[in-house]
């Protein structure tokens, strides 16, 4: 009896195992065979069929799932004769993790990148050089996106990635994004100096002691107008350049007097409670406080007043946001680009087709509407002024990714003057003199790792005001030097000067 039972159980287990592996290998075949198996159905196209895989990060919404199997797929097939597949990965895999694995194992796909990740990956030969395809395949894109955005993703004159969109990006984080409703509540009209900003905090704090002041720990850009006469633009956490000076000098930010003055302000903020005490240990809490309307101000960008409003108004329906520059003496600085760009993996069979797809996303208003908002009158409606009402909250191809000021639509809640201001945001901006420069860290890789360690362990807490500058900075500086900062700085300066000279 027992014997029978044991054998039948084992048989069942073996059967299950076999069937699992069986279906498994079938699926494996399924997913690889269409590459050479599919053929051309679209009569209009002269292109030979291709297969594209686009990796996106975040959650795939239900509507996106439907569209990517139907309308998106059909349209892309019709326009560029390509079979498209969208794969969604968790955000943790962006710029590393599985993305790295997929690149290193030579998979055929495209996704988006920033300059840091691009420099690293190009050094390993993981991106395709897209230069040969730019003229033919990216024509429409070049019309709706300015040239500087393209140069930012070139290395040695080769185009390794193409910008995903075109949105005003100058003066990013240089403004104070204030809760306008609170500002008005305490009888103020605007903020134009540090003193006014602190007065704003004091007044609101007296009325609403439960609110925190600043929902971040980094205010160096926003406060720049207060502690220095330079127009600083940061290349990374350590180094800055002065956009007001016409030279190629790289400034060591932490060693400067400006940093000392900045640290003093931040120390004051921390002690006063403008930056809450828990910020030192629980950084993510700050952003969630901001999102739930529990903070007074944040660092602003051109788009943040409307981009961020949705989540705040959920908790505080009356919330309004507005950008204020503490001083407007300096022109806004632009990196010359949207910080995100599409790249194609080195092993892609048909890189040109990928570029054609990127081009399609930014080709015209009609296609932009489709990819960002879905199908007209089903997923969204437009009123007579072209204002957008979405019928679904499902994100499609994320609209922040596609965002192009020439095509994007606003909903009814955004005032006209804001849209005008938004579209003209970059008009008086200057392009950073370092725009397009990408540092090759190979010669100082070890130093860079150590320096980053010193930065997060010792320097960041001083910069955020958690620790006192006079007491802790000398030791931090000593460690920074011991980590090889001078060598790193010299290498950076050398590369920057060479690049600068070649440019001018």
Q: Looking at beta carbons only, is 24 or 474 nearer to other proteins?
A: 24
Among residue numbers 187 through 246, which ones bind other proteins (CB under 8 A)?
216
Chosen residue from 40, 193, 292, 327 binding other proteins by CB under 8 A: 292
The reply on whether position 6 binds other proteins by CB under 8 A is yes
* Phi-psi domain of 392 (left: phi exceeds 0; alpha: psi -120 through 50; beta: other): beta
Number of other CB atoms surrounding residue 349 within 10 Å: 11
Q: Which range binds other proteins by CB under 8 A, 9-17, 139-147, 249-257, 354-362? A: 9-17
List the one residue from 8, 33, 104, 136 that touches other proteins (CB under 8 A): 104
By CB under 8 A, is residue 17 in contact with other proteins?
A: yes
Residue 281 touching other proteins (CB under 8 A)? no
- 242: three-class secondary structure by DSSP: strand
411 touches other proteins by CB under 8 A: no
36-42 contacts, C-beta under 8 A, 24 or more apart: 38/83, 40/81, 41/77, 42/77, 42/78, 42/81
Q: Residue 37, interface with other proteins (CB under 8 A)?
A: no
Q: What SS3 string covers 403-459?
A: CECCCCCCECCCCHHHHHHHHCCCCCCEECCCCCCCCCCHHHHHHHHHHHHHHHHHH
- Residue 403 within binding range of other proteins, rule CB under 8 A: yes
Closest CA to 469 of 264, 219, 274, 226: 264
Give the SS3 label for residue 138. Answer: coil
The answer to whether the beta carbons of residues 87 and 55 sit under 8 Å apart is yes
Among 307, 379, 411, 468, binds other proteins (CB under 8 A): 307
Q: ∠ at Cα 147 (146, 153), nearest 5°?
A: 115
- Span from 75-83, 125-133, 286-294, 369-377 in contact with other proteins (CB under 8 A): 286-294
Q: According to CB under 8 A, which residues from 426 to 445 bind other proteins?
A: none
Q: Are 145 and 165 in contact (CB under 8 A)?
A: yes
The rounded distance, in Å, linking the Cα atoms of 205 and 211 is 7
* End-to-end alpha carbon distance in the chain: 90
CB-nearer residue toward other proteins: 283 or 420 = 283
Q: What would the two tokens of residue 186 be?
A: 């305490």
| Residue 62 engages other proteins in binding (rule: CB under 8 A) | yes
Please identify, among the stretches 66-74, 112-120, 132-140, 445-453, the one whose residues bind other proteins according to the rule CB under 8 A: 112-120
Q: Which is nearer to other proteins, 30 or 428 (CB)?
A: 30
Q: Does 23 bind other proteins (CB under 8 A)?
A: yes
Stretch that binds other proteins, among 86-94, 261-269, 364-372, 414-422 (CB under 8 A): 86-94
DSSP lists the bridge partners of residue 299 as: 176
Interface with other proteins, residue 334, by CB under 8 A:
no
Contact between 59 and other proteins per CB under 8 A: yes
CA–CA dist 279, 275 (Å, integer): 7
Under rule CB under 8 A, residue 465 binds other proteins: no
Among 21, 424, 482, 498, binds other proteins (CB under 8 A): 21
Q: Which of residues 154-173 bind other proteins (CB under 8 A)?
A: 164-165, 167, 169, 172-173
Q: Work out whether 463 is an interface residue with other proteins (CB under 8 A).
A: no
Q: What is the dihedral of CA 379, 382, 387, 390, to 10 degrees?
A: -20
Which stretch, 11-19, 123-131, 179-187, 456-464, contacts other proteins (CB under 8 A)?
A: 11-19
* Binding of residue 339 to other proteins (CB under 8 A): yes
Give yes or no for residue 51 binding other proteins (CB under 8 A).
no
Residue 60 lies near other proteins (rule: CB under 8 A): yes
Judged on CB neighbours under 10 Å (0-12, 13-18, 19+), 358 is buried
Instruction: By CB under 8 A, tell whether 34 contacts other proteins.
Output: no
Asked whether 93 and 55 are in contact (CB, 8 A), the reply is no
Rule CB under 8 A: say whether 349 interacts with other proteins. Answer: no
Does 33 interact with other proteins (rule: CB under 8 A)? no
310 makes contact with other proteins (CB under 8 A): yes
Contacts for 469 with CB less than 8 Å, ≥ 6 apart: 260, 263, 264, 267, 462
By the 8 A CB rule, do 113 and 161 touch? yes
Given 288, 327, 389, 446, the residue binding other proteins (CB under 8 A): 288
Task: Choose, by CB under 8 A, the member of 81, 301, 334, 495 that binds other proteins.
Answer: 301
Q: Which stretch binds other proteins (CB under 8 A): 235-243, 247-255, 265-273, 279-287?
A: 279-287
Within 8 A by CB and 6+ apart from 383, the residues are 389, 412
**Which of 306, 299, 351 has the alpha carbon at shortest distance from 128?**
351
Task: List the beta strands (DSSP E) in 317-415.
Answer: 321-324, 333-334, 341-344, 380-382, 388-390
Site string for other proteins, 361-400 (x = CB under 8 A): -------------------------------------x-x
Q: Which is nearer to other proteins, 346 or 483 (CB)?
A: 346
Helix (H, G, I), strand (E, B) or coil at 34: helix
Q: How far apart are CA 182 and CA 172, in angstroms?
A: 23
Select the residue interacting with other proteins from 11, 35, 41, 65 (CB under 8 A). Answer: 65
- Which residues contribute to the site for other proteins (CB under 8 A)? 3, 6, 10, 13, 16-17, 20-21, 23-25, 27-29, 31-32, 57-60, 62, 65, 87-94, 98, 101, 104-105, 112, 114, 116, 164-165, 167, 169, 172-173, 216, 283-284, 287-288, 291-293, 301, 303-304, 307-308, 310-311, 314-316, 338-340, 398, 400-401, 403
């Amino acid at each position: 009896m027992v014997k029978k039972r044991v054998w039948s159980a084992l048989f069942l287990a073996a059967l299950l195992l076999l069937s699992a592996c069986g279906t498994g290998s079938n699926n494996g075949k399924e997913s690889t065979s269409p590459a050479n198996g599919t053929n051309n159905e679209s009569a209009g196209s002269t292109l030979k069929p291709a297969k594209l895989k686009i990796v996106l990060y975040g959650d795939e919404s239900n509507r996106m799932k439907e569209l990517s199997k139907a309308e998106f797929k059909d349209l892309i097939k019709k326009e560029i004769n390509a079979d498209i597949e969208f794969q969604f990965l968790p955000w943790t895999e962006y710029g590393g993790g599985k993305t790295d694995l997929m690149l290193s194992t030579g998979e055929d796909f495209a996704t988006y990148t920033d300059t840091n990740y691009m420099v690293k990956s190009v050094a390993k030969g993981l991106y395709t050089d897209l230069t040969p395809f730019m003229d033919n395949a990216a024509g429409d894109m070049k019309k709706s996106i300015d040239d500087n955005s393209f140069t930012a993703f070139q290395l040695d004159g080769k185009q390794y990635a193409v910008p995903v969109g075109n949105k005003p990006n100058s003066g990013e984080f240089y403004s104070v994004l204030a809760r306008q409703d609170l500002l008005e509540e305490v009888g103020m009209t605007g903020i134009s100096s540090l003193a006014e900003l602190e007065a704003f905090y004091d007044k609101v704090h007296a009325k609403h002691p439960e609110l925190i002041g600043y929902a971040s720990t980094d205010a160096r850009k926003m406060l720049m107008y207060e502690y220095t006469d330079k127009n600083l633009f940061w290349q990374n956490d350590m180094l800055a350049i002065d956009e007001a000076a016409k030279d190629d000098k790289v400034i060591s930010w932490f060693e400067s007097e400006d940093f000392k003055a900045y640290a003093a302000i931040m120390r004051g903020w921390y002690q006063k409670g403008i930056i809450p005490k828990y910020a030192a240990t629980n950084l993510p809490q700050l952003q969630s406080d901001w999102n739930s309307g529990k903070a007074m101000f944040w660092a602003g960008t051109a788009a943040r007043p409307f981009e961020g409003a949705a989540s705040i108004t959920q908790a505080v329906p009356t919330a309004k946001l507005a950008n204020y520059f503490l001083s407007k003496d300096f022109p806004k600085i632009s990196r010359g680009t949207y910080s995100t760009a599409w790249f194609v993996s080195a092993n892609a069979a048909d890189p040109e087709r990928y570029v054609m797809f990127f081009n399609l996303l930014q080709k015209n208003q009609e296609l932009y509407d489709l990819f960002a908002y879905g199908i007209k009158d089903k997923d969204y409606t437009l009123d007579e002024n072209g204002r957008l009402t979405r019928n679904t909250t499902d994100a499609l191809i994320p609209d922040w990714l596609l965002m192009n000021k020439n095509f994007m639509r606003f909903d009814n809640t955004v005032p006209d003057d804001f849209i005008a201001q938004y579209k003209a945001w970059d008009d008086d901006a200057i392009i950073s003199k370092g725009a397009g420069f990408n540092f090759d860290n190979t010669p100082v890789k070890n130093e860079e790792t150590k320096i980053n360690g010193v930065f997060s362990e010792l320097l960041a807490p001083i910069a955020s005001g958690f620790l006192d500058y006079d007491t802790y900075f000398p030791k931090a500086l000593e460690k920074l030097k011991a980590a090889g900062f001078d060598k790193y700085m010299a290498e950076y300066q050398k590369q920057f000067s060479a690049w600068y000279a070649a440019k001018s």
